Amino acid sequence: MMGHGFGGTTGSLAWFLSMLISLLLPVLVIVGIVYVALSLWERRKKGSGEETGSQDPLNILKKRYANGEISKDEFDRIKEDLLKG
């Protein structure tokens, strides 16, 4: 008869687990919210910097020249065309 009923070990274990969950659950929720907020912040920060830089034709031209996709003559000619128009 020991361990069954209100005052036994089963009741103590259930009480301990319920207290543990009630203490950890809010902490886990707060940590989750902070994690999501920080990851969204980083994604926004990365996205805004790359979008404006990568869409600029002159920056694309510079990257192509730096990667060796075009020669110096082609770079100069295209750069001149871009700056004219």
Global pTM? 0.43
- Rounded to an integer, what distance in angstroms lies between the CA atom of residue 32 and that of residue 67? 41
Q: Residue 22's Cα: distance from chain center in Å?
A: 29
- Give pLDDT tens digits for 18-33: 999 999 999 999 999 9
Residue type, 58: L
Residue 77 pLDDT exceeds 70: yes
Closest CA to 67 of 77, 75, 56: 75
Angle (CA) 46-35-20 rounded to 5° is 175
Question: How many H helices and E strands in the chain?
Answer: 3, 0
What type of residue sits at position 5? G
The pLDDT value recorded for residue 80 is 93
